[in-house]
């Protein structure tokens, strides 16, 4: 999706006992249940938010309780307020219909978000950072229908409304004439093509996912800016020794046209180039490659090691990996729901310079 989704991070202290209890109950009652419901308090932390507090719910279900040919559908809701005065409320999920002939992905959110801005481009300097804040409504709808075995075509709709943007006058935003710095709304329609053989929605250990989509934003759709967003996402999961898994991802995010502030490609965050603040580097285009090795250790505990390389660019013909950005790190996994392979993820990522961060999140990075 074009606008960057702010993932939520759940700490062990408030979550593990509750989810272990729900998991045990779900397995004991698995002969009768087609769904599981979690309601839990949340204490969260990330590079971007510092400590956050709130509540979360998760609803996972299948059309038939024992149908292993259909991945588990999930609906999640989150409400967070951070020590940096950020406020996020979001609903998102993926619904898999019988036989996976039809899939719907969606997200609806509202956020008030004090953020950081270093300028645009791969050479943005640490000393140039300045704070800004915004409010945003966001809608994302992505229904898909199966054309043939595991191959889908989909429609995309995306809407953003950005308002109450506050930033230092005469600073980077004004000097670089950043599109959308006074607020805007964009609306776009597009198409997607997906081939997906992953065996699990949360933590696959085999299969591939190849997805390409584009989304076009224009005035006749109700957009203040005219541009087109193209995304290519390729993932492969290889089971190696016993239950160990090598996970690989190549990801490209490209824009053409008059791109506003929150539709720029962002390097960093909990899912791509861990160790960098999300948006530490931003521009029209982004390309990254990620590798992660996942090893079960004992009972519900596992460990991972990962490394990433990527960069941003204003134009495709200016893209270069002569001065790429690197990150690496490792972490632990705690299986909160063994049946659905839903893990609590604890990662520490290290980027170039003094960039680093600790992440605690529900679900894998990719």
Please report the DSSP string for 218-268 in residue order.
-GGGT-SS-EEEEEEEEEEEEE-STT-EEEEEEEEEEEEES--GGGSEEE-
The alpha carbon dihedral of 202, 207, 212, 213 has a sign of negative
- DSSP helix/strand/coil, 304: strand
pLDDT for res 223: 98
Low-confidence residues of the chain: pLDDT under 50: 1-22, 24-31
**Which residues make beta-bridge pairs with 304?**
294, 331
pLDDT for res 52: 85
- For 185, the enclosing helix (H) or strand (E) is strand 184-196
pLDDT for res 66: 67
Angle (CA) 48 295 297, round 5°: 105
Find out if CATH 3.30.1370.140 is the number for domain 89-362. Answer: no
pLDDT for res 1: 44
Residues 260 and 180 sit within 8 Å (Cβ to Cβ):
yes
Could you report the per-residue pLDDT of 36-63, keeping only the tens digit for each?
A: 887 878 877 788 888 888 998 888 888 7
DSSP 81-145: EETT--EEEEEEEEEE-GGGSEEEEEEEEEEEEEEEE--SSTT--GGG-EEEEEEEEEEEEEEEE
pLDDT for res 59: 86
* 328's tokens: 């690496």
345 vs 326: CA distance, rounded Å? 21
273 vs 255: CA distance, rounded Å? 20
303 Rama sector, left if φ>0, alpha if ψ -120 to 50, beta otherwise: beta
42 vs 80: CA distance, rounded Å? 8
pLDDT for res 212: 98
Angle (CA) 283 221 5, round 5°: 40
């Amino acid at each position: 999706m074009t606008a960057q989704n702010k993932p939520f991070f759940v700490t062990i202290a408030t979550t593990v006992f509750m989810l272990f209890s729900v998991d045990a109950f779900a397995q004991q009652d698995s002969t009768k249940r087609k769904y599981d419901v979690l309601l839990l308090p949340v204490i969260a932390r990330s590079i971007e938010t510092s400590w956050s507090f709130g509540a979360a719910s998760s609803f996972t279900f299948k059309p038939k309780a024992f149908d292993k040919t259909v991945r588990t559908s999930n609906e999640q809701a989150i409400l967070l307020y951070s020590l940096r005065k950020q406020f996020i409320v979001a609903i998102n999920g993926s619904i898999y219909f019988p036989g996976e002939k039809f899939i719907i992905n969606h997200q609806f959110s509202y956020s008030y978000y004090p953020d950081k801005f270093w300028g645009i481009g791969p050479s943005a300097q640490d000393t140039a950072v300045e704070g800004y804040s915004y409010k945003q409504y966001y809608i994302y709808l992505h229904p898909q229908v199966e054309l043939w075995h595991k191959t889908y075509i989909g429609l995309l709709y995306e809407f953003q409304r950005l308002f109450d943007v506050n930033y230092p006058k005469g600073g980077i935003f004004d000097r670089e004439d950043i599109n959308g710095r006074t607020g805007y709304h964009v609306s776009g329609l597009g198409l997607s093509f997906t081939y997906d053989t992953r065996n699990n929605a949360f933590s696959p250990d085999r299969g591939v996912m190849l997805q390409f989509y584009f989304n076009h934003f224009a005035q006749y759709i109700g957009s203040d800016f005219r541009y087109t967003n193209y995304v290519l996402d390729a993932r492969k999961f290889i089971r190696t020794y016993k239950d160990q898994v090598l996970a690989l991802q190549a990801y490209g995010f490209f824009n053409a046209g008059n791109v506003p502030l929150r539709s720029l490609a962002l390097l960093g965050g909990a899912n791509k180039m861990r160790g960098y603040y999300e948006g530490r580097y931003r521009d029209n285009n982004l390309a990254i490659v990620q590798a992660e090795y996942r090893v079960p250790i004992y009972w519900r505990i596992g460990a991972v090691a990962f490394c990433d390389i990527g960069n941003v660019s204003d134009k495709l013909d200016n893209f270069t990996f002569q001065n790429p950005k690197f990150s690496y790190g490792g972490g632990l996994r705690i299986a909160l729901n063994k049946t659905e392979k839903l893990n609590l993820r604890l990662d520490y990522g290290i980027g170039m310079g003094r960039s680093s961060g600790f992440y605690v999140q529900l679900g894998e990075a990719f």
